Chains A and B, each alone.
Chain A
Amino acid sequence: MITVCLIDDLPPGESIRVTDGVPAPVAVFHTEEGEIYAIDDTCTHQDASLSDGFLEGCFVECPLHEAFFDLRSGRPTCPPAKQPVRTHQVSVESGRVLLHVSVAEPA
């Protein structure tokens, strides 16, 4: 389990890239609706950081090629991405955002 940041430092609509203590970079999102999600940060299509992507509801648009990923399942909703990204558990406790990195295969 990793403490990502204080929830106050991740307001709705924002994202953060986690690189320390994880096997591969993870992107943590706080949606405008108040949900918090974590997925692998690297787009499965080409090398782009999804934490830099545009957040729309519970979807993020890859900053390079406009592939959309569902933050809940990690699945891409349209080409060019074909492979899902992994999702990770994330929770807020005592004002801190906690990340539990999964090692499972993507959905």
Chain B
Amino acid sequence: MKSITVVGASLAGLYAARALRTQGFDGRLVIVGDEHHHPYDRPPLSKGFLTGATDQGQLALVDADDTADLYAEWYLGTRATALDAAGGTVLLDGDRSLDTDAVVIATGATPRLLPGPEPGEPAHTGVHTLRTLNDAQALRDDLARGPARVVVIGGGFIGAEVASSCAMLGHDVTVVEAAPLPLVPQLGDDMAKVCAGLHADHGVTLVAGTGVAGLQGGRGYSDHPDSPDRVTGVELTDGRLLPADVVVVGIGVRPSTDWLEDSGLLLKDGVVCDAGCVSSLPNVVAVGDVARVDGHRAEHWTSATEQAGVAVQNLLAGGTVATHRNLPYFWSDQYGVRIQFAGRRLPTDIPRIVEGSAEDRSFLACYERDGQTTAVLAVNRPRPFTRWRRELMRST
């Protein structure tokens, strides 16, 4: 194998590139990324980067030494538009192409959008999604215009973190969640209720159980005649209208596989891979948010880093010689509270608080099934959480 192309200059893509070099690949390594930035860490974008506590430099995942060690060709600001794996070609925008013997797909995911105004329509200005550094910078700039009424659509972790950051910056924040309660699929009813309570604790309004009917646009913010048209409100399906100067849409993501439509790769809510991150073609592996590994697609930081080593090992071996089964782990920081979760929870598993209390917003809960702990949730209890997570890693 003389040349390998990593598509996606992301956390997963970077870890795959590193793994290629540490596992002895000494051929041509190309890293293609549609953003102009070298790989950076996304978790702070909804937290410290929005509030200003973290600057862009602190997000960097590589420094000059790291990049030199990789000895890679970087195609940044470049979008891969198609893959011809059999012919050994990755097509790039601008009618360019790369010849390659193998491909690591690490293109991540793209935020879901509300049906409605297209870019350029008045109600579009002031409406944000949050995935990339540029997204976060645009939102940060918008929030810096002055005290705003912020409506966050979607009460998942991204939505909750953005709401928390906006509240910390002094904005008037409302979270709209279509389900009766946010985070139920992740945490179950009881624990989701506790986490939803964090919004009210910090003066943020949670409007749950109602969808969004549409966005209103017009002359927002000021009566100044030169003030540009922008979003002014969010219409709910129950008929209410929430006035809004800034809207953040956090209603999930879809894996970025559009460029693979004609590749012949098996796609189904992601690139379908076996337990070794190998796709339906032996010279193509996938890692991170875009990969459906052994039937599961995880959008977790830790999965992205852990999959890389296994995927690369199999790619270099020409077949699946190693498999990956990590313990799902994610965390969220909101309102100064650290939420950590690890394990595989079924909706029927019963959470039991084993230390602390929900009222104090500091506790550790074990989800149990037939007397066995299947997952663990910690709210402001990092130390026992780590012990439990390790225990679960050993036993599952």
Contacts and interface: CB of A to CB of B under 8 A. Distances in A.
Given A46-B43, A66-B302, A52 B386 contact: yes
A93 to B, nearest CB: 27
B242 to A, nearest CB: 32
Interface in B278-312: 301-302, 305
29 contacts: A45-B41, A46-B41, A46-B43, A46-B44, A46-B48, A47-B48, A47-B333, A48-B382, A49-B382, A52-B382, A52-B383, A52-B386, A54-B387, A54-B390, A63-B340, A63-B382, A63-B383, A63-B385, A63-B386, A64-B331, A64-B382, A65-B301, A65-B302, A66-B302, A79-B61, A79-B305, A80-B41, A80-B61, A82-B63
Contacts of B48: 46-47
Nearest to A49: B382
B325 to A, nearest CB: 17
Given A46-B48, A52-B383, 12 more contacts: A46-B41, A52-B382, A52-B386, A53-B386, A54-B390, A61-B386, A63-B383, A64-B331, A65-B301, A79-B15, A80-B61, A82-B63
Interface of A: 45-49, 52-54, 61, 63-66, 79-80, 82
The 7 closest A-B pairs by CB, nearest first: A52-B382, A63-B382, A52-B383, A54-B386, A63-B386, A64-B331, A82-B63
Nearest to B387: A54
Interface of B: 15, 18, 41, 43-44, 48, 53, 61, 63, 66, 301-302, 305, 331, 333, 340, 382-383, 385-387, 390
Q: Tell which of A49, A53, A63 has the most Cβ of chain B within 10 Å.
A: A63
B165 to A, nearest CB: 13
Contacts of B43: 46
A80 B387 CA distance: 21
Contacts, number: 37
Contacts of A46: 41, 43-44, 48
Listed residue (A45, A48, A61, A64) with the most chain B CB atoms within 10 angstroms of its CB: A64
A103 to B, nearest CB: 22
A18 B63 CA distance: 31
A68 to B, nearest CB: 13
User: Which of A45, A61, A79 neighbours the largest number of chain B CB atoms within 10 Å of its CB?
Assistant: A79
Nearest to A51: B383
Nearest to A61: B386
A61 B382 CA distance: 12
A90 to B, nearest CB: 20
Contacts of A66: 302
A66 B44 CA distance: 16
Nearest to B331: A64
Nearest to B11: A80
Nearest to B47: A47
A45 B11 CA distance: 14
A80 B63 CA distance: 12
A61 B15 CA distance: 19
Nearest to A53: B386
Nearest to B14: A79
B110 to A, nearest CB: 24
Contacts of B18: 79
Query: Most chain-A Cβ atoms within 10 A of its Cβ — which of B18, B63, B305?
Result: B305
Contacts of A49: 382
A31 B168 CA distance: 38
Nearest to B306: A66
Contacts of A65: 301-302
Contacts of B333: 47
Contacts of B66: 82
B173 to A, nearest CB: 22
